[in-house]
Amino acid sequence: MTVFTDNLLAGHAAFVAGGTSGINLAIAKAYAAAGAKVAVLSRKPEKVEAAVAEIGHGAIGFAADVRESDAVHAAMRSAADAFGPLSIVVSGAAGNFIAPAAQMSANAFRTVVEIDLIGTFNVLRAAYDVARKPGCRMINISAPQSTAPYWGQAHVCSAKAAIDMLTRALALEWGPEGICVNAIVPGPIDGTEGMARLAPTPQARRIAESATALGRFGTTRDIAEMALFLASDAGRYVTGAILNCDGGQTLSGGGAFSPAVIAAQG
């Protein structure tokens, strides 16, 4: 039985929020290569323009901030006008920096929660209005910080934990209309902005690798193929699931990332 084919997503229209770099861009490229029409959204026009060119296959892009619900709604409507009802929506825009809570301003905490959590609500809420019903697949990008505390990550831990619960709540409410809502939990993915911020030194990189059961970084392809599965017909009975694609990072928790442990690595 052939499951993944070149035209796996033919006839589908996908919208990837945060789809202009890293993991989300890899997802957007995989969807386009699989035959879907693809739209991406992020804040910086130059990143949007470059991503649209890199994705090819007639992709379109929108420069908007996921914190602005009206702008997200407008982009989503434009994508649906161009492509027809959206059948795949990914919410992956996020912000991160390492900061101990005691040195984090209220605005620093709020900024990450607004991008990650409120942004995810804005994206999925707008998508609901232009979704293909039944049949739309909505996919949130979570993180191992959603289930274990990580040092310097109080804002991300709080936001991603809430994204997991939002995933379940929307899956429950929208399931009767034939909408599947799931989340992917990536592990440490090599060559991404996220890892550059979380593991900026060789010592921190070694810890990030050894914090996975498989002892190595993942690739953007690993996550893109999980996102392909969830968007494809093979994912038709999966909803409300928080799916780890993390090399087993979630098994070990975040204590290893404390400054004391990193310093002890020498």
Residues that bind ligand NAP (CB under 6 A): 18, 20-24, 42-44, 47, 65-67, 92-95, 115, 119, 141, 143, 186, 188-189, 192-195
Which lies closer to ligand COA via its Cβ, residue 98 or residue 243?
A: 98
* Partners of residue 183 on adjacent β-strands: 140, 242
Residue of 164, 193, 261, 265 interacting with ligand COA (CB under 6 A) = 193
Quote the tokens at residue 243: 């799916």
If binding is defined by CB under 6 A, does position 118 make contact with ligand COA? no
Q: Which stretch binds ligand COA (CB under 6 A): 46-54, 88-96, 176-184, 256-264?
A: 88-96
Please report how close the Cβ of residue 160 comes to ligand NAP at its closest, in angstroms: 7
Surface-to-core class of residue 107, CB atoms within 10 Å of its CB (0-12 exposed, 13-18 middle, 19+ buried): exposed
Which residues 6+ apart lie within 8 Å of 32 measured at CB? 14, 38, 55, 56, 57, 59
Q: Are strands 88-91 and 60-63 parallel, antiparallel or unpaired?
A: unpaired
Which lies closer to ligand COA via its Cβ, residue 104 or residue 256?
A: 104
Decide which of ligand COA, ligand NAP, none touches 61; Cβ closer than 5 to 8 Å per partner kind: none
Quote the tokens at residue 70: 């009206």
Q: Which stretch binds ligand COA (CB under 6 A): 103-111, 173-181, 222-230, 257-265?
A: 103-111
Strands (E), the chain: 13-17, 37-42, 60-63, 88-91, 137-141, 180-186, 242-245
Rg, C-alpha atoms of the chain: 18
If binding is defined by CB under 6 A, does position 105 make contact with ligand COA? yes
If binding is defined by CB under 6 A, does position 95 make contact with ligand COA? yes
The Cα–Cα gap between 103 and 83 comes to 46
If binding is defined by CB under 6 A, does position 99 make contact with ligand COA? yes
Q: Which amino acid is at 98?
A: I
Please report how close the Cβ of residue 42 comes to ligand COA at its closest, in angstroms: 9
Decide which of ligand NAP, ligand COA, none touches 99; Cβ closer than 5 to 8 Å per partner kind: ligand COA
Which residues 6+ apart lie within 8 Å of 117 measured at CB? 158, 159, 162, 163, 166
Residues that bind ligand COA (CB under 6 A): 94-97, 99, 104-105, 107-108, 111-112, 193-194, 197
